[in-house]
Structure 1
Amino acid sequence: MKRLSRKLVVFMAAVLMIFGIAGCSSSAGTAKNESAVKSGEEIVLKLSEPQVDDYPDSIAEKEFAKKVEELSDGRIKVEVYTGGQLGDETTTIEQTQVGIIDIGRANAGPLTQFADSLGIFSFPFLFDSREHMWNALESSLREDLFSDLEESDLICLAFYDAGARSFYSTDPIETVKDLKGKKIRVMQNDILIDAFKKLGTSPTPLAASEVYSALQMGVIEGGENNVSTYVADGHFEVAKNFTLSEHLRIPGVLFMSKSSWDQLSEDDQKIIKEAALESEKTQLEEYDKYAQTSMDRVMEAGNNVVELSDKERSEFREKVQPLYKEYESTYGDLFKAIEDTR
């Protein structure tokens, strides 16, 4: 489902910044320079990564860029701009959609605005494990999700692992009953808000940048995220209880502007696809190391890490089961496809 009404606004807001970067580039051409593509001259693609330079996604994207250059004998170069130089996730999506940026990476959560089917990742306890999620992503489900996003002028290239999201809080959460009435920060997502209400919380949508101070001031009593972000954003300093509920697994997505994609030859498109799929392996390896380092920091800080028993996790899961029935008409086929990959 397309969301193109903001194109002009996004373009006007970003064009000076992008042109400024392009003016400093010594590239011989870009994917939007059709004559460069046809003549076999150098193609330069700009990739926007909101995370910092040493984050697993950034490392994987640099490997992607190396592979593209290698497979094209140096003819295609991918410039990776990390640390949000070209914008945050939402800005990256919108600018890639309209062709200002060639390639971007964002979590599947905000991408739901551009492809309804990606809302499937908003259902808690959808996957039994990381292995289950990747079984699903490597099935025919991948192409179904990719084709849905293409309707919004974005070509999906790869999925990246973003770990499992768990609860963290100022007071311990050891059972589902401990969530009752707690003000928990949640992403602005209708499915998640409904899910957290069913878990008994008082879901509080906030921008990620506001969470630290909200925890400090007692505006909220907790949040939920993967352990890497819990540490990277400093939330482990003000919410010292981390409950391994692992209730959500929302992958990242590497995608390309359809306008840039369409100006590549079929052979060059194959190069981009091959390099992107190979980058998934790098990202998985790097994410494992990054997550372990993050958990080590949590333990060194003396934080309370709560491991749920199978029985306790089942109680969490049971609370959100009515949500699946409510959305059966919208996501029923996807629920079944994921169930079949268990």
Structure 2
Amino acid sequence: MKRLRGKLVVVVSAFVMAIGITGCSSAGTSGNAGNESAAKIGDQIVLKLSEPQVDEYPDSIAEKEFAKRVEELSDGRIKVEVYTGGQLGDETTTIEQTQVGIIDIGRANAGPLTQFADSLGVFSFPFLFDSREHMWNALDSSLKEELFTDLEKSDLVGLAFYDAGARSFYSTDPIESVNDVEGKKIRVMQNDILIDAFKKLGTSPTPLAASEVYSALQMGVIEGGENNVSTYVADGHFEVAKNFTLSEHLRIPGVLFMSKQSWDKLSEEDQGIIKEAAEESEETQLKEYDEYSQTAMDRVMESGNNVVELSDEERAAFKEKVEPLYEEYDSTYGDLFQAIEDAR
């Protein structure tokens, strides 16, 4: 596929399971979401898709195009109902409910999916990719099949990857070199590999819930964080941490996936339709994400924030600091590291 460059488990009654129609009882589900999943109305198959992000988010827009394309390719036999804004639950709930067949199709970041497919943990390694193009070259290679095969062991069928941008540092004081992160309290996700990596960079990694970051920056509990520019703006962190350093140290893609139970109910022809439409939706998502990110960066610049572009030498100095991490995890991820290296 041609690319744009640059760039819990809910308890279900035995009766409901017996008749093959599952209920959706997530606390986040709205009343208009209905109670049926993988329903068949006459000759039409109706599939539910759960998207935790809002309508205007690039993933949501791509999923609506996916739904439209599925309907076109199937001559109206398959209808995908897209529920955005977390109506059917957050990312973790979406994964769990899709895994057991309550939701037919879901989308989540590869981070939380790691607990269902160990191989997806490879995206937690900083400076794994040289660029966005490098990441997509890798995801378009045999690596994609390997990662999706691992996902299927947890009853989830991988359909497509979505771009989630590059994560960079933001801070109350400028970060212009690897020396500037020494001793800084940087908020990180609760992820053992990332925490270890940030220790190797010399920071004091501080795992916090996303909802706590703004006040922690405001009160000086932490001195910085790391995320993509869109989230930096959307969460308001650009208001209290005025320095954004384009380290682009992490690229963790999103994944569009389907319940194995729902997938197995489809004919081979219909499975092909779902796959084709999902892969086509990647292009829509990439285009929308570019525009979304640019809007966020424009907001940062208009606010007068300091945007730091690292030189190749400085970025290499950051990468050198985390090299030992790759050696420590070589027995687990060595083959994946090599596949990504080969995609350069």
> What TM-score, normalized to structure 1?
0.92
Matched, 1:12 2:15: no
Assess if the C-alpha contact under 8 Å between 2:28 and 2:88 holds in 1: no
Assess if the C-alpha contact under 8 Å between 2:29 and 2:89 holds in 1: no
Matched, 1:114 2:113: no
1:69-126 alpha-carbon deviations (Å, 9 max, x no partner): 1111112111111111111111111111111111111111111111000011011111
Assess if the C-alpha contact under 8 Å between 1:30 and 1:42 holds in 2: no
CA distance in 2, matches of 1:280, 1:19: 27
- Residue from 116, 126, 138 that aligns with 1:136: 138
CA distance in 2, matches of 1:141, 1:24: 35
Offset of 1:21 from its aligned partner? 5.6
Q: How large is the Cα RMSD of the aligned pairs?
A: 1.9
- Residue from 158, 161, 178 that aligns with 1:159: 161
Q: In terms of mean alpha carbon deviation, does 156-165 or 14-23 score higher?
A: 14-23
> What TM-score, normalized to structure 2?
0.91
**What does residue 56 of structure 2 align with?**
54
Aligned structure 1 segments of 4 or more residues deviating by more than 2 angstroms = 12-25
Offset of 1:46 from its aligned partner? 1.0
Matched letter for residue 10 of structure 1: V
CA distance in 1, matches of 2:306, 2:29: 47
Higher helix proportion: 1
Matched letter for residue 85 of structure 2: G
Assess if the C-alpha contact under 8 Å between 1:30 and 1:43 holds in 2: no
CA distance in 2, matches of 1:337, 1:51: 31
CA distance in 1, matches of 2:49, 2:307: 37
- Secondary structure of the residue aligned to 1:181 is coil
- Secondary structure of the residue aligned to 1:10 is coil
**What does residue 3 of structure 1 align with?**
none
TM alignment of 1:1-342, pairs within 5 A: 9-12=8-11, 15-17=24-26, 25=34, 30-31=37-38, 33=39, 36=40, 41-342=43-344
CA distance in 1, matches of 2:309, 2:342: 28
CA distance in 2, matches of 1:17, 1:310: 47
Assess if the C-alpha contact under 8 Å between 1:49 and 1:83 holds in 2: yes
Offset of 1:16 from its aligned partner? 3.1
1:142-163 alpha-carbon deviations (Å, 9 max, x no partner): 0000000000010000000111
Matched letter for residue 76 of structure 2: G
CA distance in 2, matches of 1:45, 1:65: 9
Query: Structure 1 pair 19/237, CA: closer, same or farther in 2 (3 Å)?
Result: closer
Assess if the C-alpha contact under 8 Å between 2:33 and 2:87 holds in 1: no
**Residue identity (%):** 82
CA distance in 2, matches of 1:221, 1:19: 33
Matched letter for residue 16 of structure 1: S
Offset of 1:23 from its aligned partner? 7.1
Query: Structure 1 pair 264/332, CA: closer, same or farther in 2 (3 Å)?
Result: same
Gaps (5+ residues) in structure 2?
Answer: 1-7, 13-22
- Secondary structure of the residue aligned to 2:238 is helix
